Structure 1
Amino acid sequence: MLRSQSLKQPSRLARRQPASLQSRLSSSVRSTPTPASPRPSTSSRLLLGLSGAGALAAAAYTVSTWRDGFAMDAEPGKKGWETSPGAGMTTTGDGANGKGGLFHFKPHVFLWGRNSHGVTSPSSADSAASPASSSQTVKRPSIASPLSDLVLRDLALSATYGVAVDANGDVLQWGAGFQPSGHVERTVQGRDIVKVAATQEGKVFGLSKKGDVFVWAAEKEMQKVEGGKRAIGGIELPRSQEGAGWMWALGKGTVWGRGSNDRVETVRLGTDVKLDRGERFTSLSAGASHLLALTNHGRSFALPLCLSANSHGQLGVRSVTLLAPPHPGSSPTSGLSLRLEPDEHLNEMGWEKLPPPPKKLDPLLLPAIPPPTPSQPAPHMDHIPALPTTAAATTPGAESTGSELRLHPDPAHHAALERSIHFCTTLHEIPALRGVEVAELAAGRRHSLARLGGRMHGRVLGWGSNSYGQLGLGSTLSYPSIPAPTEVPFRRSAAYQGASRPNTLECVRVAAGGNVSYFVVEADDGKAVDLLASGQGQFGGLGNGLWAHATSPVRVKTVSGLREWNETTGKVESVGIKDVQAGDGHVAVVLDNAVKNPDGTTFGRDVFVWGYNEHYQLGTGKRSNLPTPQHLAPLPYPRLIESQVAAAGSKPVAVTVSKQEETISSGTTSPMPHKRMQLSPAVPSHATKLPRGAVVEEAICAGDGGSGVYWRIINP
Structure 2
Amino acid sequence: MLTTRIRRPATHSVLALRSSRTPIARSLNAPWSRFASSQPQSRGPSSHWLRNSLGFASSWATHTTLMEERKLGRLFRGAKKEAIDVNDLRAQFVQEKRSLKSSAVYTWGSNIYKVVDPGSKDADIKTPRRFKYFDGQVLRDLKIEEKSGAAINEKGDLVQWGQAFSETDFKPSETLTGKNLVSLALSESRIIALSSDGTVYSLPLSKTEQSTGPKSRESSWVPFWASKSNLSYRVLNPSLKLGEKVTSISGGQEHVLLLTSSGRVFSAASSTENYPSLGQLGVEGLTWSTRPKGPADFCHEITAFKGSKIVKIAAGDYHSLALAEDGRMFAFGDNSFGQLGVNYDPERTFKDTPFVVKVNKLYRRGIYDAKVTSIAAGGANTFFSVDSTRILGSEEETADVRDLGNVTADTWSCGRGIWGTLGSGRWVHVQDSPTKIKALSGVSEYDEKTNQITPIRIRAMSVGTTHVSAILDNKTNISRNTKDTLDQSKDWGYDVVWWGGNEHFQLGTGKRSNQAKPIYINAPPETKKQAEARLQIMPRHKGKVGKRNVNMEQRVECGRHVSAIYSAV
TM-score of the superposed pair, with normalisation by structure 1: 0.61
Q: 2:112 maps to which residue?
A: 116
Output the CA distance in 2 between the equivalents of 1:21 and 1:536.
37
Please tell me whether residue 539 in structure 1 is matched to residue 416 in structure 2: no
| Residue type at the aligned position of 2:316 | G
Distance apart, 1:624 and its partner CA: 1.7
Q: 2:409 maps to which residue?
A: 529
Match runs of 1:678-689 below 5 Å: 678-685=536-543
Contact kept in structure 1, 2:280 and 2:318, CA below 8 Å: yes
- Match among 379, 384, 393 for residue 514 of structure 1: 379
Output the CA distance in 1 between the equivalents of 2:90 and 2:496.
27
When the two structures are aligned, how many residues end up with a matched partner?
A: 471
- Match among 287, 306, 321 for residue 340 of structure 1: 287
SS at match of 1:223: helix
Q: 1:6 to 1:184 in 2, by over 3 A?
A: closer
Q: 2:82 maps to which residue?
A: 10
Please tell me whether residue 434 in structure 1 is matched to residue 306 in structure 2: yes
Contact kept in structure 2, 1:108 and 1:711, CA below 8 Å: yes
Q: 1:607 maps to which residue?
A: 496
- Match among 487, 490, 499 for residue 359 of structure 2: 490
Instruction: Give the % identical residues.
Output: 30
Distance apart, 1:595 and its partner CA: 2.1
Output the CA distance in 2 between the equivalents of 1:594 and 1:186.
38
Q: 2:177 maps to which residue?
A: 189
SS at match of 1:578: strand
Q: 1:311 maps to which residue?
A: 277
Q: 1:564 maps to which residue?
A: 445
Output the CA distance in 1 between the equivalents of 2:146 and 2:470.
21
Output the CA distance in 1 between the equivalents of 2:324 and 2:260.
13
Report Cα offsets for 1:255-312 as digits up to 9, x if no partner: xxxxx994323322212x2x12221111111112111110111010000135754422
Distance apart, 1:78 and its partner CA: 4.7
Output the CA distance in 2 between the equivalents of 1:630 and 1:617.
13
Q: 1:443 maps to which residue?
A: 315
Distance apart, 1:9 and its partner CA: 3.1
Contact kept in structure 2, 1:463 and 1:486, CA below 8 Å: yes
- Match among 243, 249, 261 for residue 278 of structure 1: 243
Distance apart, 1:635 and its partner CA: 3.1
Report Cα offsets for 1:389-424 as digits up to 9, x if no partner: xxxxxxxxxxx567xx9x9xxxxxxxxxxxxxx964
Q: 2:331 maps to which residue?
A: 462
Output the CA distance in 1 between the equivalents of 2:420 and 2:99.
32
Q: 1:265 maps to which residue?
A: 232
Q: 1:79 to 1:112 in 2, by over 3 A?
A: closer
Please tell me whether residue 578 in structure 1 is matched to residue 463 in structure 2: no
Distance apart, 1:560 and its partner CA: 1.3
Q: Which has the higher strand share?
A: 2
Distance apart, 1:554 and its partner CA: 0.9
Contact kept in structure 2, 1:447 and 1:465, CA below 8 Å: yes
- Match among 660, 677, 680 for residue 535 of structure 2: 677
| Residue type at the aligned position of 1:679 | I
Q: 2:254 maps to which residue?
A: 289
Distance apart, 1:597 and its partner CA: 6.1
Q: 1:379 maps to which residue?
A: none
Please identify the structure whose Cα radius of gyration is greater: 1
Distance apart, 1:559 and its partner CA: 1.5
Q: 1:241 to 1:263 in 2, by over 3 A?
A: closer
Q: 1:126 maps to which residue?
A: none
Output the CA distance in 2 between the equivalents of 1:76 and 1:567.
24
Report Cα offsets for 1:95-143 as digits up to 9, x if no partner: xxxxxxxxxxxx11100011111000124xxxxx6xxxx1111111101
Q: 1:301 maps to which residue?
A: 266
Report the RMSD for the aligned CA atoms in angstroms.
3.2
- Match among 213, 217, 231 for residue 241 of structure 1: 217
Output the CA distance in 2 between the equivalents of 1:310 and 1:505.
33
| Residue type at the aligned position of 1:198 | L
Q: 1:637 maps to which residue?
A: 526
Match runs of 1:85-164 below 5 Å: 107-123=103-119, 134-164=121-151
Distance apart, 1:521 and its partner CA: 1.0
Contact kept in structure 1, 2:254 and 2:274, CA below 8 Å: yes
Match runs of 1:342-491 below 5 Å: 424-453=296-325, 457-474=326-343, 480-491=349-360
| Residue type at the aligned position of 1:147 | F
Moved more, 430-439 or 203-212: 430-439
Contact kept in structure 1, 2:359 and 2:371, CA below 8 Å: no
- Match among 200, 210, 213 for residue 223 of structure 1: 210
SS at match of 2:304: helix
Output the CA distance in 2 between the equivalents of 1:108 and 1:443.
27
TM-score of the superposed pair, with normalisation by structure 2: 0.76
Contact kept in structure 2, 1:535 and 1:542, CA below 8 Å: yes
Q: 2:36 maps to which residue?
A: none
Output the CA distance in 2 between the equivalents of 1:517 and 1:285.
14
Q: Which has the higher helix share?
A: 1
Distance apart, 1:473 and its partner CA: 2.4
> Which consecutive unaligned segments of at least 5 residues does structure 1 have?
23-50, 55-74, 81-106, 124-128, 231-236, 254-259, 320-338, 342-399, 408-421, 643-654, 663-674
Match runs of 1:610-625 below 5 Å: 610-625=499-514
Contact kept in structure 2, 1:511 and 1:580, CA below 8 Å: yes
Contact kept in structure 2, 1:451 and 1:459, CA below 8 Å: yes
Output the CA distance in 1 between the equivalents of 2:539 and 2:146.
29
Contact kept in structure 2, 1:187 and 1:261, CA below 8 Å: no
| Residue type at the aligned position of 1:565 | Y
Moved more, 260-269 or 301-310: 260-269
SS at match of 2:163: coil
- Match among 212, 220, 227 for residue 199 of structure 2: 212
Report Cα offsets for 1:304-333 as digits up to 9, x if no partner: 1357544221111368xxxxxxxxxxxxxx
Output the CA distance in 2 between the equivalents of 1:109 and 1:487.
38
Output the CA distance in 2 between the equivalents of 1:52 and 1:680.
15
Contact kept in structure 2, 1:288 and 1:445, CA below 8 Å: yes
Q: 1:7 to 1:114 in 2, by over 3 A?
A: closer
Distance apart, 1:252 and its partner CA: 8.4
| Residue type at the aligned position of 1:606 | D
Contact kept in structure 2, 1:270 and 1:425, CA below 8 Å: no
Distance apart, 1:484 and its partner CA: 1.3
SS at match of 1:163: strand
Output the CA distance in 1 between the equivalents of 2:260 and 2:441.
31
| Residue type at the aligned position of 2:218 | E
Output the CA distance in 1 between the equivalents of 2:181 and 2:165.
19
Q: 1:209 to 1:576 in 2, by over 3 A?
A: same
Q: 2:29 maps to which residue?
A: none
| Residue type at the aligned position of 2:411 | L
SS at match of 1:432: helix
| Residue type at the aligned position of 2:81 | Q
| Residue type at the aligned position of 2:262 | H
Output the CA distance in 2 between the equivalents of 1:607 and 1:261.
45
